[in-house]
Structure 1
Amino acid sequence: MGGDLVAAEGDYVHGDKHVYPAPDTPAPTALRALPEAPAALVGRETLVDELLSVLSPNGPGVTVVAGLPGVGKSALTLTVAHQAAKRGWFDGGVLFIDLRGYDPNGTVGLEQAVTVLMGELGIRDEDMPPTLDGRLALYRSELATRAERGQRVLIVADDAGEVAQVQPLIPPDDAHRLLVTSRNSLVAPGFPARLVKLEELSVAAAANLVSAMFLRIRPTDPRPGREPDALGEIARHCGCLPLALTVVGALLADDPGLPLASFAEQLADERTRLEKLTFDDGHGMPVGVRAAFELSYARLPAELARLLRLFTAHPGPDCHISFVALLYGEIGGVAEAYAEPAAMRALLAGLARTGLIAEQPTGSGRWRMHDLVRLYAAELADRHAEEDGYHQAVEKLFFFYGAMLRACDSHLQGQPDDPYHAIVPDADTALDWLDEERDGVMALGRLAAHQGQLDTMDGFTTFVQAYLYRRGLFQEAADLSRLAADEFRRVGDVQAENRALSDLSLALAESGNAEEGAALQEKVLESHPAADPVDKARGLVRLAAARLLAGRLDDAAAAAEEGIGLWRELGDRQSEGLAWNTLGTIRQAQERFQEAVTAHERAEVLLAEGGDTHAAAKVRRNRGTALRALGRHDEAIDVHRQALAMFEEFHDTLEVAESFNELADSLNAASRIRDAADARRMAAGGYRSGRAREDEARARVLLGLELAQLRDFADAAAAHERAGLLYQDVGDPGGEGWARGCLATALYESGRDEEARDAWLRSAAAYREAGQEQEAQLATTLYEKLGEHLAAKSTRRASRLLYTRLRNRFCGRGRPRGSGTPS
């Protein structure tokens, strides 16, 4: 192993490898050879520490670093190996072998690999045994001898394609370490390796890696500092995959005048993204992600290759195993939608071993494909569409998702007579399924629009609305309605376009754009005065709801009354009942509570006649709220209990929780505080079970206030603390400020003064983040006043009087409620 050796701070450079002499020895007896570590390793600090601990004397003998192509396995492993060598951990040698496990020109065989490693151990060619068994025996003997001398050896085996390439290389002594990289997980009986799975980078780390790449070449490049947002977009378009990011870094360094925003715009086009993520200097083979993926795809058995291609038929970010089985053809009935076919899981696990897909989270039954792998696999799917039955698979997805959506909607709307109702057992299961499949549902709706399947798109839009409103996902409802309106306009279907615009108007109103929503609905009604009377009646009631949210109460009532008249003329008593309910809600906002009670009573009669007991239960609950406002507390409590019982029959956790919450309000108004706290606790638990975190947060604040009235300040503080964390989690700083202000009061009453001051400080910070400067200033004032009182040792009576005067500013903060599911 000849060649010039150049000194480099205690080690030597030999060609493209670093050579580490054994510590405190005058000259190496063998090369400890590693390729260069990457100049920039970003976002892997935790994994570096993990692998260094693996290489410590107490670590496992064999470790496999696995992950999809281009995720940075070799870069991480080389960085760690260099650090371990520099620390003197492996004075017996640091060996390296590139196994080329996916090289189309041939992999490194076992005999070649052991020969290379023996050469690095200092064994001359003339001393090599002639047979493979002999060389393996000498290799193990040499490692054992070094272990006896207390000399640890690190062997880095890069790019292994299968267990058989590395298993014979396992050192015979626990002192040594074998560190392997592979696209495959390399799990096999008798192969005692610890597996370290490598994932893509975070967006921030990915952006830093790109900038580090081209700043190393052009240190004065102003683009990272000038266009940080574009840098983040580039990182996202690369799927935060290190190989793609390094290609981008080279491309940007090669063209210093290219604005990052322009390059991000180029990468935004999925049709050409893989081409853009290729670097070709005009000499040799181009470097890019497509080439890396091709090496893995070429090794797949036929059934896994087909599975990879068909996986792309599902447009969502992930796919449940039951729908993968549907695409692959393993299941054939809607009733099997909850199944997890064993054979399908075995296939998916086989594909996951290659790094091309992953189950996330582990054990969830949901499988994900990296965005760039998806683009590559979609190209393959297009070429093999006919033989794979790709288009038939997409049609099955549309049908099955459509059936499940309709079944779920029938439970959320309380329609047990719907022919699809039995597919899903209850409303809670429907919500669970929709929560899991929401992204896939939205993606399939967009795909149907893109393919011109407008009936399918319309069905998705119709049957997902109640769920989106239930979860408060008004912006998603608006996006879907806007897409439908655009597509119907494109084909000239004016009536369908107007229905979609009507849906859009209410979604806009519910999402905080009430005036815009009302104006849109007014425009639809004015533009088509001779529209279908059903569409006009529906539009008038939605206009009433939008005007209600905009605070235009008299106009809202007028629209509702006109809608009621139209529904009565049409003989649609159920829709008339829903319109009466809307009018009742408007009358409550007008503080005309007796008229509200009358309207809700009329609505309930009409809905009950039509057998819509689910909607009737909602109306009854609304009537209880109006009765409470009239001071008829006993009646209100009785009506709320009736509504609660009705929803319990539907096994509808969220509606039960909402009914408990209204019951608690009525009990509180009747000064039955302990009963109110019990009901509120049930409401908070129901919201938690139904994953309605913002509703849970509000219920827990109110529970805390009721517990404080009962002088149970410790439990009150716990409820407020939980509420603050929930508001923080959902990104509502105003709600967090309210919760922490109430927490401060409970802590103060408990005698926990310093904690109370801290809570006021955090309340002020949260309010300030929300832009509510008046509340922030009040919280700050209370923080300062409490400090002054504590410093002056003033009486707690003075503090209590101050708190009593200001408490309502924090503890009376309510949350406006929308008009609910569209009628």
Structure 2
Amino acid sequence: MLPHLSPDEDDTAARPLLIFAVTGMGGIGKTALAVEAAHRARARGWFPGGTLFVDLRGYDDDPVTADQAVLALLDALGVRDRDLPATAERQYDTYRALLAERQDQMLLILDNASEPSQFLPLLPGTDHHRVIITSRDRPDALPVRLIDLESLAPDDSVALVTRALLDTDERDERPERETEALRELSDLCGNLPLALQIATGILRRRRHRNIASLVTEIRDARDPTTVLDQGSPGTDLYGRSLVLRPVLETSYRRLPPEQARLLRLLCVAPGAETGVEAIAALADFGLAATLRLLEELAATHLVTPVRCVDGTAPAMRWRVHDLVRGFGSGVVAADARLREEGEAARDRVLDFYWRWADAADDRLRWLPGMEEPERFADRGQALAWLDGERAGLVAAVAWGREERFAGSAVRLAQCLGEYLYSRRYFDDWIAVAAAAREATQLAGDRLGEAIAWDHLGVALREAGRAEEAIDAHTRARDLYRATGDHESEAMAWDNLGIALREAGRTEEAIDAHTRARDLCQEAEDRHHEAGAWHNLGNAQQEAGRTEEAIDAHTQARDLFQATGDRHREAKAWHSLGNGLQEAGRAEEAIEAYGESLEAYREFEDWYGEGRALHALALAYEAAHRPTEARAAHFQSADAYTRANAPTEAAQARAAAEPPE
């Protein structure tokens, strides 16, 4: 903001900027910024008339009125005792007259205002001086230059705490020794300057304790403010108490009932960011009413809109600061009525998520002849919705560890497997499947438990944890068998075979896939039979039984084509290409990989596209076509990058570079 305070602004043809409003949540550093800007401006000789500062204490129980503030300003201007006019009206007249008469430009800081009535009467009646107002609320009715402060960047938070500790004791080795703990402490403080200042004070007093000990205390607390305020070091340079909870309480208490309710519910929402539709479900409001309340909360800096990339559309996602979330959760937990209000809201958002995740999953699994899913016209729309809601969906499944939400969480988890697999979010899938497994055990749902074990096995396998995956699939198989679900038992056998092959137990894998194929044939389940043939072929090829593998992959391709599953047909083409390549039939392999690539691209399966291009590059090399091989390697690297597979992308780029 410093450049705008420059007197050079008056040299422009436009009307000079006279009033600045520094806004942000409590503890963000508004006063510190205003005072620092004033010091720097004075050092540059910009305000020879001096600086007037008044703390309006707008969020205290007894805020300063404009009538009280004008007395302090007159006193600073030398008007006191017998010279002080008897009435408030004459006091304002005198104050404005003195400012109008001043030839030397002045800077007026009206700090910590909560209502326009506190500062409007104090604005100069001249455009000669500059004014800075600080507030937690945006003064949208005034023609002012708004400067909205946000939390610090993580690196800046770490640097702030490090510098403060070393300024106190240059021998303090903790910041250098505990870099990860210091970063986590900054995260737990929400990168809020006030919280960081308090945490730094605690670390100064605990100079013989490590940073990790404070991190553990804060992490284990439901509300971080309880730990930070307990260890608060007193007051800051401006004589204000260094405490967090009262700052948040005053902002919360000032909210109208509807806004206060929405803020509480946002604090129990799943995920750090929540979409407008999910918030509407949470609050049981319409979209228009929800958006209006969110915008009103944003004006108080208690929620933050997550802007669209191009900034042309309204914010569709909203974030609550971590410390506000902790405070709000504590408010809800402390009151039985509010707890029930929060749990009913969580029921609603789980129903909302399940409805649309189920529809999106139906679209991802859709085959010709099936009923058209609700809402999502194509695979791209389904993926876009799931991508946007992923954090909330994963967090909502974790609620299944509570008995009330177990059934809903299990239903939701079962809709996410195909998506998390296709997008390769295996850590999320492990978390979802593990939470679902616990929820099914809580609900006594043995079939649901089998599904959860099977999903967990696939996620573990893809994360490179083959032995754990074998155990999970074995449990799933046994549970399916016990419940008499032989079709699902076939899928568990098939998944078990893949995990066995990953663990190097190829002959056992062939047996498992053969068992899966036979069960599918008995059930006349042609689609899953195709999958079993495909996996059987992969195991046979690994065992060196190439011709059997080519036959199995051909069977799989034909069955996937017959059932209209174009996406899995792509995988069958790819595996068939591998078999043909192994058999020395390079041109046929190139044709198979090309068919696979085309299908993967139809489904925006970037990882599959990367694999197909990599295989195609190797086939070109075997066919002595180096230019086409190099181009395919580069294209493979690009596809892997889009698929969030940096290791594979780096390997593909390295393969594309000519040897030195």
Q: Scaled by the length of structure 2, what TM-score is found?
A: 0.84
Bigger shift: 356-365 or 666-675?
666-675
Are the equivalent residues in 2 in contact too, given 1:250–1:279 (CA < 8 A)? no
Cα distance, 1:293 vs structure 2: 0.8
Matches within 5 A, 1:570-649: 570-590=523-543, 592-627=545-580, 629-630=582-583, 632=585, 635=588
Question: Against the structure 1 CA distance between its residues 413 and 528, is the aligned structure 2 distance closer, same or farther, given a 3 Å change threshold?
Answer: closer
Aligned residue number for residue 787 of structure 1 = none
Aligned residue number for residue 118 of structure 1 = 74
Aligned residue number for residue 356 of structure 1 = 302
Match 2:522 to one of 569, 590, 593: 569
Are the equivalent residues in 2 in contact too, given 1:573–1:610 (CA < 8 A)? yes
Cα distance, 1:180 vs structure 2: 1.8
Are the equivalent residues in 1 in contact too, given 2:267–2:325 (CA < 8 A)? yes
Which amino acid in 2 is paired with 1:143? L
Aligned residue number for residue 701 of structure 1 = none
1:328 aligns with 2:283: yes
Match 1:375 to one of 326, 339, 362: 326
Aligned residue number for residue 311 of structure 1 = 266
CA distance in 1, matches of 2:66, 2:197: 32
Matches within 5 A, 1:73-112: 73-105=30-62, 107-112=63-68
Which amino acid in 2 is paired with 1:238? C
Question: Against the structure 1 CA distance between its residues 687 and 426, is the aligned structure 2 distance closer, same or farther, given a 3 Å change threshold?
Answer: farther
CA distance in 2, matches of 1:253, 1:619: 63
Question: Against the structure 1 CA distance between its residues 492 and 406, is the aligned structure 2 distance closer, same or farther, given a 3 Å change threshold?
Answer: closer
Cα distance, 1:158 vs structure 2: 0.8
1:441 aligns with 2:426: no
Which whole-Å deviations, capped at 9, do the CAs of 1:589-610 have from their partners, x for residues lacking one?
Answer: 4564433331122223444555
Which whole-Å deviations, capped at 9, do the CAs of 1:523-569 have from their partners, x for residues lacking one?
Answer: 77689996754454333211221233334434332322232223333
Aligned residue number for residue 278 of structure 1 = 229
CA distance in 2, matches of 1:243, 1:669: 63
Question: Against the structure 1 CA distance between its residues 416 and 77, is the aligned structure 2 distance closer, same or farther, given a 3 Å change threshold?
Answer: farther
User: Identity over aligned residues, as a percent?
Assistant: 32
CA distance in 2, matches of 1:238, 1:482: 29
Matches within 5 A, 1:657-676: 657=609, 661=613, 665=617
Aligned residue number for residue 739 of structure 1 = 653
CA distance in 1, matches of 2:548, 2:232: 78
Bigger shift: 311-320 or 137-146?
137-146
Question: Against the structure 1 CA distance between its residues 735 and 278, is the aligned structure 2 distance closer, same or farther, given a 3 Å change threshold?
Answer: same
Which amino acid in 1 is paired with 2:495? R
Matches within 5 A, 1:160-179: 160-172=113-125, 175-179=128-132
Cα distance, 1:428 vs structure 2: 0.9
Are the equivalent residues in 2 in contact too, given 1:587–1:596 (CA < 8 A)? yes
Equivalent residue of 1:64, what SS? strand
Question: Against the structure 1 CA distance between its residues 663 and 224, is the aligned structure 2 distance closer, same or farther, given a 3 Å change threshold?
Answer: closer
1:543 aligns with 2:457: no
Which amino acid in 1 is paired with 2:72? V
Are the equivalent residues in 1 in contact too, given 2:456–2:469 (CA < 8 A)? yes
Which amino acid in 2 is paired with 1:298? R
Which whole-Å deviations, capped at 9, do the CAs of 1:443-501 have from their partners, x for residues lacking one?
Answer: 00001233453332322322211111112222222222233334445666666545433
Cα distance, 1:66 vs structure 2: 1.1
Question: Against the structure 1 CA distance between its residues 217 and 681, is the aligned structure 2 distance closer, same or farther, given a 3 Å change threshold?
Answer: closer
How many residues matched?
641
Cα distance, 1:99 vs structure 2: 1.2
CA distance in 2, matches of 1:85, 1:457: 60
Equivalent residue of 1:421, what SS? coil
CA distance in 2, matches of 1:376, 1:461: 29
Are the equivalent residues in 2 in contact too, given 1:543–1:559 (CA < 8 A)? yes
Matches within 5 A, 1:245-256: 245-256=196-207
Which amino acid in 2 is paired with 1:560? H
1:52 aligns with 2:2: yes
Equivalent residue of 1:453, what SS? helix
Are the equivalent residues in 2 in contact too, given 1:224–1:231 (CA < 8 A)? yes
Which amino acid in 1 is paired with 2:283? Y
CA distance in 1, matches of 2:587, 2:603: 26
Which amino acid in 1 is paired with 2:197? T
CA distance in 2, matches of 1:570, 1:138: 95
Aligned residue number for residue 428 of structure 2 = 476
CA distance in 2, matches of 1:367, 1:282: 33
Aligned residue number for residue 27 of structure 2 = 70
Which amino acid in 2 is paired with 1:350? E
Cα distance, 1:432 vs structure 2: 1.3
Aligned residue number for residue 311 of structure 2 = none
Equivalent residue of 1:160, what SS? coil
Aligned residue number for residue 265 of structure 1 = 216
Question: Against the structure 1 CA distance between its residues 321 and 281, is the aligned structure 2 distance closer, same or farther, given a 3 Å change threshold?
Answer: closer
Equivalent residue of 2:109, what SS? strand
Which amino acid in 2 is paired with 1:322? E
Which amino acid in 1 is paired with 2:152? L
Cα distance, 1:397 vs structure 2: 1.1
Are the equivalent residues in 1 in contact too, given 2:232–2:243 (CA < 8 A)? no
1:289 aligns with 2:244: yes
Q: Scaled by the length of structure 1, what TM-score is found?
A: 0.69
Which amino acid in 1 is paired with 2:550? V
Equivalent residue of 1:179, what SS? strand
Equivalent residue of 1:155, what SS? strand
Matches within 5 A, 1:521-536: 521=473, 532=484, 533-536=486-489
Which amino acid in 2 is paired with 1:163? P
Match 2:180 to one of 197, 205, 229: 229
CA RMSD of aligned residues (A): 3.8
Are the equivalent residues in 2 in contact too, given 1:407–1:420 (CA < 8 A)? no
Question: Against the structure 1 CA distance between its residues 263 and 389, is the aligned structure 2 distance closer, same or farther, given a 3 Å change threshold?
Answer: closer
Bigger shift: 494-503 or 307-316?
494-503
Cα distance, 1:431 vs structure 2: 1.4
Aligned residue number for residue 455 of structure 1 = 407
Match 2:463 to one of 511, 514, 525: 511
CA distance in 1, matches of 2:126, 2:148: 25
Which amino acid in 1 is paired with 2:250? L
Are the equivalent residues in 1 in contact too, given 2:218–2:227 (CA < 8 A)? yes
Are the equivalent residues in 2 in contact too, given 1:64–1:193 (CA < 8 A)? yes
CA distance in 2, matches of 1:68, 1:417: 54
Are the equivalent residues in 1 in contact too, given 2:553–2:572 (CA < 8 A)? yes
Which amino acid in 2 is paired with 1:344? T
CA distance in 2, matches of 1:634, 1:482: 45
Are the equivalent residues in 2 in contact too, given 1:426–1:651 (CA < 8 A)? no
CA distance in 1, matches of 2:547, 2:363: 32
Bigger shift: 159-168 or 670-679?
670-679
Which whole-Å deviations, capped at 9, do the CAs of 1:382-417 have from their partners, x for residues lacking one?
Answer: 437469843332222111111211222222223466
Which amino acid in 1 is paired with 2:265? L
Cα distance, 1:359 vs structure 2: 0.5
Cα distance, 1:159 vs structure 2: 0.4
CA distance in 1, matches of 2:392, 2:566: 31
Matches within 5 A, 1:362-401: 363-382=314-333, 383=335, 385=337, 389-401=341-353
Question: Against the structure 1 CA distance between its residues 605 and 515, is the aligned structure 2 distance closer, same or farther, given a 3 Å change threshold?
Answer: same
CA distance in 2, matches of 1:368, 1:613: 39
CA distance in 2, matches of 1:472, 1:265: 31
CA distance in 2, matches of 1:741, 1:671: 15
Aligned residue number for residue 257 of structure 2 = 302
Aligned residue number for residue 195 of structure 1 = 146
Which amino acid in 2 is paired with 1:109? T
Question: Against the structure 1 CA distance between its residues 672 and 141, is the aligned structure 2 distance closer, same or farther, given a 3 Å change threshold?
Answer: farther
CA distance in 2, matches of 1:364, 1:204: 26
